[in-house]
Amino acid sequence: MRMAELSRRTGVPVPTIKYYLREGLLPAGERTSPNQALYDEPHVRRLKMIRALVEVGGLSISGVRDVLAAADTTDISPVKVLAEVQDRLSPIHGDEDGEHWQAAHDLVEDLIKRRGWHADAHSPAGVTLVAAIASLSDLGRDDLVGLVEIYAEAAETMAAADVSFVMERDNGIDDIVEGAVIGTVIGDAIITALRRLGHQHASNVLYDDPSCEPE
């Protein structure tokens, strides 16, 4: 298909498609003349994935590039590809020299050990967790650290379901990686939104607000 149809099919404006081509996020089409190229279904799919990562996942263009680069690395074992993809989906924040870093790190190591998780406290996700817990202490809200155990239980259940959903399709490594990227990024958005709806519910129930009765 021509670029105009690619735009129509995906809802992405032509100038944006050209930008993604220049940035190398989208592979070039098959050139048919100096000014024209043809695109096919993988382009449609890739373009939709880029939009989802940007619009729903909130990733920057360079973040999208990193994730796609990991997703395109299919010459290693699936578990390594998934680890690569996931690492690039976990931006690291935080100050390792902070006052509460070591205590938070010990807490995370202990949590992983107690739960018997085959997981690495030094991976980007582990470091992000340490940073977040350290910042609760920095803010004088150590009381909230008590929630981590409840979250860990919930996260374990969700993650096990995620992995079995993504794996059971048996459509090859590309499909698994695509599912992992989409499921991780859009899954984050779904989970945080659901937790906020849960907060609405819990605080309405607590304060017994009659304006929020369900229909």
Nearer to a second copy, 31 or 161 (CB): 161
The distance of closest approach from Cβ of residue 79 to a second copy in the complex, given in angstroms and rounded to an integer, is 4
Nearer to a second copy, 36 or 102 (CB): 102
Nearer to a second copy, 4 or 212 (CB): 212
Count of CB atoms within 10 A of residue 108's CB?
22
Please, where are the H alpha helices in the chain?
3-10, 14-22, 41-55, 61-71, 78-88, 101-115, 124-138, 147-167, 173-207
Residue 45 binding a second copy, by CB under 8 A: yes
Q: What 8-state DSSP symbol labels residue 94?
A: S
Residue 120 binding a second copy, by CB under 8 A: yes
Residue 172 binding a second copy, by CB under 8 A: no
Count of CB atoms within 10 A of residue 100's CB?
19
The distance of closest approach from Cβ of residue 52 to a second copy in the complex, given in angstroms and rounded to an integer, is 5
Among 154, 173, 174, 177, binds a second copy (CB under 8 A): 154
Residue 76 binding a second copy, by CB under 8 A: no
Residue 155 binding a second copy, by CB under 8 A: yes
